[in-house]
Structure 1
Amino acid sequence: MSTGEVEKQERNARGIPKAPFISNVDEYLGADPDAESALKDLQAVLAKYRYMDGNLTTRRRSLEEKIPDIKKTLTMVEFLQERREGKSKAGEDGDDLDDEDDLGDEVSKKPLKTTFELNDTLYAEAELEDTDTVFLWLGANVMLSYKIPAAISLLRSKLSAADASLQNVISDLEFLREQITVMEVNIARVYNWDVKTRREKREAAEASSGKKEIQA
């Protein structure tokens, strides 16, 4: 395939080229057909599609593991914000409450006991004190502190981006698998054409040889 043909090749939204279907093998191979070279070229293109398919499959698995973690973290940070907002509201209304309500507020202000994951099979208990700051793992052993509203904004942004990325990956995988099927069909068509042509040439040569023997 020439450079001009590659540039004109139809692509999907992420730039993955569409595999051209070989409807006429004679026309595809041209006046001086070389089926062996054509098959090598087609197999090289197929290998590239399969390589992209493998990479995207790995990325899909990574995103499908990552998205639930982001959702759990976001839910927890939103809970902390709601808890702080509830305490703030209770504090503002405290002057209008009687002694019994004040006692209830004191109970609600106690540290929140929870269990958090240290490793896949290791958990620990912790008490969450009233705080306006959370620490988020950003990957590559990097942790940063954020104010709760900023953390919620960041997590929502990451969740939205991860969801969009996953949808794109799924779409690309479907597209790639269609192109892999097209390339496999192309290879089969060229291979069958080569087998048929070789057989016809052999039969013609045998027929010609037989005629010469009869004439002799």
Structure 2
Amino acid sequence: MADSKSKAPVTTQTNPRGIPAAPFIDNVSDYVSSRDEVEPTLRSFQEMISKYQFMEVNTQRRGQGLREKIPDIKKTLEMVRFLKLRKEANPDTDLETNFELNDTLYARASVSPAEMEEVYLWLGANVMLAYPLDEAEKMLAEKLTAAESSLAHCEEDLEFLREQITTLEVATARVYNWDVVQRRKEKADGKGDDTK
């Protein structure tokens, strides 16, 4: 393993969600003091790149899930607001509507104002709960805000992860090139190791 005292100080910078920043190597000879440290350093960089790529894939999946969920939340919130407005505007008139049973199957329904006191919302995992209209609107608005915030964080994290991967790829190339230059110098000086 590389001698820790020969390395530049390791920073513990992270993004707001705790993803650590990749080390930036300003001067390779300060970071790697001898050729014996090159291989462990390159392996360490490859390991970090793999970890960042793993985080990137998971963040992309989470973002995709949120992109699919947000339109459903918006649609449900709009429907709750519509029912609320309709109930307030026409408290004595039934609401005639078509509602979706499946992707291509609709049913006609008549909803009385007394039945518009509450809505039933799917919460996931085959769970449905009844909510009063005001409570449903508040809960859906909070869920929408949280989902949009999470999506913004995912996009920010993806950008940060891509920057860290690029930083490590550049650092890998710089360490590798430094090693090539050192080998050439040793070979020119007659100290080269013919086995490498």
When the two structures are superposed, what TM-score results if normalisation uses the length of structure 1? 0.77
When the two structures are superposed, what TM-score results if normalisation uses the length of structure 2? 0.85
1:123 aligns with 2:105: yes
Structure 2's unaligned 5+ residue stretches are none
1:138 aligns with 2:123: yes
Which one-letter code corresponds to 1:172 in the other structure?
Answer: D
Query: d(CA) in 1 for partners of 2:182 and 2:164?
Result: 27
Which one-letter code corresponds to 1:40 in the other structure?
Answer: R
Query: d(CA) in 2 for partners of 1:64 and 1:78?
Result: 22
Identity, % of aligned pairs?
44
Change (3 A) 1:206 1:176: closer
Contact 2:119/2:133, CA 8 A, preserved across alignment: yes
Answer 1 or 2: which has greater helix percent.
1
1:104 maps to which residue?
none
Change (3 A) 1:160 1:74: same
1:9 aligns with 2:12: yes
Q: Which has the larger radius of gyration?
A: 1
2:61 maps to which residue?
58
1:187 aligns with 2:169: no
Contact 1:116/1:126, CA 8 A, preserved across alignment: no
Alpha-carbon RMSD: 2.1
Contact 2:22/2:167, CA 8 A, preserved across alignment: yes
Deviation track 1:130-184 (CA, whole Å, cap 9, x = no partner) reads 3211111111221111111111111001001111111111111111111111011
Query: d(CA) in 2 for partners of 1:206 and 1:27?
Result: 22
Change (3 A) 1:138 1:62: same
Structure 1's unaligned 5+ residue stretches are 92-108, 208-216
Query: d(CA) in 2 for partners of 1:167 and 1:182?
Result: 23
Query: d(CA) in 2 for partners of 1:126 and 1:140?
Result: 27
**Superposition deviation, residue 19 in structure 1:** 1.2
Contact 1:9/1:17, CA 8 A, preserved across alignment: yes
Match of 2:145 among 149, 152, 160: 160
